[in-house]
Structure 1
Amino acid sequence: MWQKAINSSISISLEDNEGNDDQEQAGVEDNERDNGNNNNDDNDDNDVGEDEDNSGDSAAAEKKGDAPEPGAGMEQDKQVSGGNFPNEKHGWGLKRNDEHQQPEMPSWLNSMLERHDSYWVGSPEDKVIYLTFDEGYENGYTPSILDSLKANDVKAAFFVTGHYLDSQPDLVRRMVDEGHIVGNHSDTHPSFPEVSDSEIKKELQVVEEKYKNITGQTGMKYLRPPRGEFSERTLAVTRGMGYYNIFWSMAAVDWVPMKGGAQEAYEAVINNTHNGAILLMHAVSKDNAEAMDRILKEIKNQGYTFATLDDLKR
């Protein structure tokens, strides 16, 4: 069951929100890596939270290559619209704490998320963790991560881009075969508030079609907004398509190598666990892959259980 955000004010300026996820977008990898945590500097007037936990949905993580013609071979377009909802852009980011408490969230944002069935954390009463990964391109570490998940009997959600589906069909099939959820992370990883309703629909439908061609499955229902950027309009459009927007309550700057390597990756997670956490990680990280088995075992040792987004959803 989804936990409603806490009614408290918190600074709405952010420096390394998931906008780093921008690096995941086709054709901008090198640029975005240089920008590191600052991909949302031009929108910081409405960024959510403060700093470290904005997930760098690593811009570098989503990748390269020319996008296919949007909408090619797709099923009939779903009739949805953002209507008159505001299109003010926000970047997701939360300030971490080492007290194992859920982050605070402004009441205005909590209300917006609830209106559109969006999620960022589970119940504060349940010692449960929801594990998610963003997959923009393959850096050679997803097989190891999948091995660790299987060895520890943990199911996760993997949010994939169009490029990832094009380049890694075997890994996507393995995710499905081993019981993981595959979610939509858009085709070319644009900032949704910066594109039209119809472009958003095409971005998601291209991924749906590619996923269907690879796995034979339909009915994708979980979305991680590219770059962690959203507006009330984009929440409305995507919910109208049947998607639940999935944000996160803990993350780390893991789309680039960590100075402390696998030990730092381990501590970044273990020091910030909390009830109902939706944990965002990037599978492009060697450090994450090397620490994964230890992370999963220690989370269980702390008395947590792992659940899936299907368990979280109302």
Structure 2
Amino acid sequence: MSSGFTRSGWMRAGLLSVGLLSAGALDVGGLGVRAALAQQAASASPFAPPPVASTSNISSGGARPASADTAMASSEPNAPKPDKPSRTKASSAPAGPLKRSYSSVSVGEKVVALTFDDGPNPATTPKLLDMLKARGVHATFFVLGTRAAENPALLRRMIAEGHEIGNHSWNHPQLPKISRAAADKQIADASAAIERATGKKPRYLRPPYGAMTPALRSHLEQKYGLTFVYWSVDPLDWKNRNAKTVRERILAKARPGSIILLHDIHATSVAAMPELLDTMLAKGYRFATVSELIAQDQPGRVHVASNAFEQSSGGKPRRSAAASTTHTGHHKPVAGGIGLY
């Protein structure tokens, strides 16, 4: 120590340092002292939220790191919650572009989801409901708004018997091929028809043909809060009107966590159900609604659908064929291909 620096001089220097610290003028190790003091004050408050990122990654005057943005985005609680929260994932899917789309789910037991599109059909859907009820099986019905408006009693029966109802658009267009305003109307009108019939808003959307683009999917997710549900097993029941063929294809492809695509508007698809259900039940399988299946998704083994044709073909179905769409008579949907993971 220099003999010329007196005790009073050191005290004055110490006071000057404290003044500089309180003004945030000093930066220690790249961390603004004002930020450090603010962080300590926040952590001392019992009402303060947890920090979104480690202060070791934030320099004074610097930008917030990407990890902080990710942490904030992933905490947004706008996603639909499954019916059985006790078995659901620890956190819901985030809102907006990060919302998840499912083609199947990773589960630790033999459980699958049966899903039926394009109904309800008063000539075939009641028979299917009878078959499901007799076996205590629950399914998910992705209904068209036109048919929901025409058959509200069938939707109420579905809900009363433990089934789930999802949105399949108003009248089955390829959503990427119409204007955004028209696509909005397709989804909004179908959801409104479902809610009028059942008192419940649908949580899930299955786009007709599986046709979708990343931009449109992000828009619909953010605007309507719907989670997209595709499929992992497609027996092509719309094309091959043969109950035995439909049944055998499903039995050959079904795995734990599968989401199986069918159409309750076809008599042959409904006719395939009794033996299919009995065979799978005998093999130890259990049937769940989409919400129930998602609730059993195992953390660390999440399978998030990557809709491959969203990137590769501008939302066009992978398999194309002429679609006859007369909703009061025949309706032959084109089976859209889904890129699985």
Quote the RMSD (CA, aligned, Å): 2.1
> How many residues end up aligned between the 2 structures?
199
Corresponding letter in the other structure for 1:235 = R
Letter in 2 for 1:233: A
Post-superposition shift, 1:126?
A: 3.2
Report the CA distance between 1:136 and its aligned residue.
4.3
CA distance, structure 2, for counterparts of residue 180 and residue 242 of structure 1: 21
Structure 2: which amino acid aligns with 1:281?
L
Aligned equivalents of 1:273, 1:212: Cα separation in 2: 32
In structure 2, the residue corresponding to 1:271 is in which secondary structure?
A: helix
> How far apart are residue 213 of structure 1 and its match?
2.0
Deviations 1:227-257 (A, max 9, x none): 2101101221221111010000001121245
Aligned to 1:251: 234
Q: Which residue does the alignment assign to 2:44?
A: none
Q: Is contact 1:130-1:306 (8 Å) kept? A: yes
2:186 maps to 1:203? yes
Match of 2:103 in 1: 120
- Aligned AA (2:247): Y
Task: Please say if 1:296 is aligned against 2:304.
Answer: no
Within 2, Cα distance between the matches of 1:304 and 1:264? 20
Deviates more, 1:242-251 or 1:191-200: 191-200
Kept after mapping to 2: 8 A contact 1:143/1:171: yes
Match of 1:220 in 2: 202
**Gaps spanning 5+ residues in structure 1: where?**
1-113
> Residues of 2 paired with 1:225 and 1:237: CA distance?
13
Give TM-score, length-normalised by structure 2: 0.55
Over the matched positions of the two proteins, sequence identity in percent amounts to 34
The answer to whether residue 245 in structure 2 is matched with residue 264 in structure 1 is yes
Is the alpha carbon distance of 1:180 and 1:137 closer, same or farther for their aligned partners in structure 2, counting shifts above 3 Å? closer
Contact 2:192 / 2:201 at 8 angstroms: preserved in 1?
Answer: no
Sort the Cα spacing of 1:150 and 1:136 in 2 relative to 1 into closer, same or farther, 3 A.
Answer: closer
Q: Does the CA contact (< 8 Å) of 2:236 and 2:246 recur in 1?
A: no
Structure whose alpha-carbon radius of gyration is higher: 2
> Which portions of structure 1, spanning 4 or more consecutive aligned residues, are displaced by more than 3 angstroms?
none
Contact 1:224 1:245 in 2 (8 A): yes
Which string of whole-angstrom CA distances, capped at 9 and with x for unpartnered residues, describes residues 174-217 of structure 1?
111111111100112221212333322221111122122222x1
CA contact (8 A) 1:184 1:224 kept: yes
**What is the rounded CA distance, in whole Å, between the counterparts of 1:174 and 1:204 in structure 2?**
22
**TM-score, reference length from structure 1:** 0.59
Deviation at 1:125, TM superposition (A): 3.9
- Contact kept, 8 Å, 1:152 with 1:293, in 2: the verdict is no
- Cα drift, residue 309 of structure 1: 1.3
* Greater RCO, CA 8 A, separation 6+: 1
Residue pair 2:145, 2:170 contacting (<8 A) in 1 also: yes
Query: 2:293 & 2:272 partners in 1: Cα distance?
Result: 25
Deviations 1:72-103 (A, max 9, x none): xxxxxxxxxxxxxxxxxxxxxxxxxxxxxxxx
User: Which of 152, 157, 163 is the equivalent residue of 1:180?
Assistant: 163
SS in 1 for 2:136: coil
2:214 is matched with 232
- Name 1:85's counterpart in structure 2: none
Given the alignment of the two structures, is residue 284 of structure 1 paired with residue 265 of structure 2, yes or no?
A: yes
Q: For the residues of structure 2 that align with 1:313 and 1:234, how far apart are their CA atoms?
A: 23
**Cα distance, 1:159 vs. partner?**
0.6
- 1:145 and 1:288 map into 2 onto residues whose CA distance is 9
Between the aligned partners of 1:278 and 1:257, the Cα distance in structure 2 is 19
Distance 2:153 2:217 in 1: 31
| Pairing 1:43-122 to 2, within 5 Å after superposition | 115-122=98-105
What are the Cα deviations for residues 42-93 of structure 1, in whole angstroms up to 9, with x where unaligned? xxxxxxxxxxxxxxxxxxxxxxxxxxxxxxxxxxxxxxxxxxxxxxxxxxxx
Q: CA deviation at 1:173?
A: 1.5
SS of residue in 1 equivalent to 2:112? strand
Quote the residue 1:171 is aligned against.
154
How far off is 1:311 after superposition?
Answer: 2.1
Go from structure 1 to structure 2 and tell me whether the alpha carbon gap of 1:249 and 1:184 turns closer, same or farther (over 3 Å shift).
same
Name which of 291, 306, 322 aligns with 1:310: 291
Aligned partner of residue 172 in structure 2, secondary structure: coil
